[in-house]
Structure 1
């Protein structure tokens, strides 16, 4: 190994170690810890554990900083650790097992959802720049060798979530960088079928804008398909192909994200946040909020306030 190569390897190891320390500080409790930045969460387990409950996951990435995990995704079992990370190309049911963990060296991981609006925007912009071999989606979910650029970006992302101004301005830019790097890598060819994207990405991007503007009123799949000038079946199919989730799942998560922000930054009560986000009832809102954030709205705020000093 020459001097330059050695220096790069040392630098990459240092960045990985620094990211591990950042996660260890933030993942102070056992299990899941949500970040103040929506869609970013941390996991810590001090012993091997099997998830009995299946979770519906969004498109995203999981980077293990310490330990090893196995995940059952669509009848396929994938193993990932410090040498490779998990890429979720579509919403999927997950049943996981933390294989390697101990009190002295707990399992530590970052789970980052890839925001659908940024993902679709990047796909639309990059569709003509992706490798010509990227003509067919190979797998929805898979593992990829760890990328030093990803580790660097995640370190900057965590630092950018420490203050409200940075969360609102810098963090989304780093998320977009992560998505663009992912799509431009060899992994990008495995995530999306470009033949579908070239026909549908712009329409789906317009549909997402429409959803964002119309959250205050009831929207059905027929309403969304009509706005996109597509049949209901074609619209639902192409939305999932491009975005990785169903349109109604994405609409629900848009409303949850808005409600979360109203609770966190506007101080609204749960029933007020639910109403202002387009939910038809507080019961429906509470049920969906707990399904996504693993806590009731009230308890979720209590947990986030514990880490608000970051």
Structure 2
């Protein structure tokens, strides 16, 4: 497996320190130092394979670290903060990602037998994201996928096959239940995912947990319990994280004032906004945005890159 990892590192060596498209649908790569503010975002569902260095990811009150030859599964859209670190040798952080396509997952699952044994998703301590060790078969599927960068004429025919294999290998692993849950329409995780979409579509408006629970066809207590189990956040905490991330983007990328950004994302009090912001990002909003802009200017990049 070490030879596979070395070849993957070589193939991904052209990545930049931002999301770099490969030309293969839903497959991207990233390398090097990534500013902290770029790692604070609402992440879309994905499988992320670490090739070099390490990364920490915090969602709510849960922090995970993943290293080379491990992969990270995020089955739903989650607001997270993270940091990346070079290898002990000094070589830069390097990773690959595959964005999950529900249609591909659903089609794949119809071709697979139902797994034997109990349903792991019944344990409310299982969140919608986790880390696992990569297997040689999963690494091999990733390797064949990334080799397509050198044969773009083969992408249309072979990338869908390799994508299904990567997903199949993840489904066979310890966190495959998450992919099964999110692809089935009536599971608790799928209903939480729908609630997340409703929150994100109109995050600036007040939400009522009772309304979300009714839309998700759950009791309020069951909805709150499942939402917290999957995301490690309550529905209102989730909305707040989305608001704060959007406000940060408005201040850094669009030059909004603290008060303007606060009101635009739905806060009624700039003072409360500043308190919540500092609690999540470690600095008051004006100081934090000035720090980000200063760092970005020093790197010679626009703040949204």
Q: Same fold (TM over 0.5)?
A: yes
Using structure 2 for the length normalisation, give the TM-score: 0.55
> What is residue 33 of structure 2 aligned with on the other side?
27
> What is residue 194 of structure 1 aligned with on the other side?
181
1:308 and 2:301 correspond: yes
Using structure 1 for the length normalisation, give the TM-score: 0.55
Kept after mapping to 2: 8 A contact 1:120/1:204: no
In structure 2, distance between residues paired with 1:81 and 1:38? 21
1:281 and 2:269 correspond: yes
In structure 1, distance between residues paired with 2:244 and 2:144? 29
1:271 and 2:259 correspond: yes
SS of aligned partner of 2:71 = strand
Provide closer, same or farther for how the CA distance between residues 256 and 87 of structure 1 changes in structure 2, counting only shifts above 3 A: same
> What is residue 291 of structure 2 aligned with on the other side?
299
> What is residue 163 of structure 1 aligned with on the other side?
none
In structure 1, distance between residues paired with 2:32 and 2:5? 26
Kept after mapping to 2: 8 A contact 1:211/1:251: yes
> What is residue 133 of structure 1 aligned with on the other side?
115
Provide closer, same or farther for how the CA distance between residues 21 and 227 of structure 1 changes in structure 2, counting only shifts above 3 A: closer
> What is residue 108 of structure 1 aligned with on the other side?
93
Write the deviation string for residues 16-71 of structure 1: whole angstroms up to 9, x where unpaired: 4444887997517xxx633388457xxxxxxxxxxxxxxxxx98776544346899
1:224 and 2:220 correspond: no
What is the CA distance between 1:233 and its match in structure 2? 0.7
Kept after mapping to 1: 8 A contact 2:109/2:180: no
1:259 and 2:247 correspond: yes
RMSD of the TM alignment (CA)?
Answer: 5.6
Stretches of structure 2 lacking an aligned partner (at least 5 in a row): 19-28, 147-161
Kept after mapping to 2: 8 A contact 1:65/1:107: no
> What is residue 151 of structure 2 aligned with on the other side?
none
> What is residue 52 of structure 1 aligned with on the other side?
none
Kept after mapping to 1: 8 A contact 2:86/2:93: no
What is the CA distance between 1:119 and its match in structure 2? 8.4
> For 1:137-148, what aligned pairs fall within 5 Å after superposition?
137=120, 140=127, 141-145=130-134, 147=139
1:83 and 2:56 correspond: no
Provide closer, same or farther for how the CA distance between residues 212 and 293 of structure 1 changes in structure 2, counting only shifts above 3 A: same
SS of aligned partner of 1:230 = coil
> For 1:154-173, what aligned pairs fall within 5 Å after superposition?
none
What is the CA distance between 1:268 and its match in structure 2? 1.4
Kept after mapping to 1: 8 A contact 2:71/2:132: yes
Kept after mapping to 2: 8 A contact 1:36/1:308: no
Provide closer, same or farther for how the CA distance between residues 34 and 120 of structure 1 changes in structure 2, counting only shifts above 3 A: farther
In structure 1, distance between residues paired with 2:239 and 2:217? 18
Kept after mapping to 2: 8 A contact 1:215/1:255: yes
In the comparison of the two structures, how many residue pairs are matched?
257
Provide closer, same or farther for how the CA distance between residues 80 and 246 of structure 1 changes in structure 2, counting only shifts above 3 A: same
In structure 1, distance between residues paired with 2:227 and 2:71? 26
Stretches of structure 1 lacking an aligned partner (at least 5 in a row): 1-5, 41-57, 155-176
SS of aligned partner of 1:143 = strand
Equivalent of 2:196 in 193, 208, 212: 208
In structure 2, distance between residues paired with 1:111 and 1:272? 37
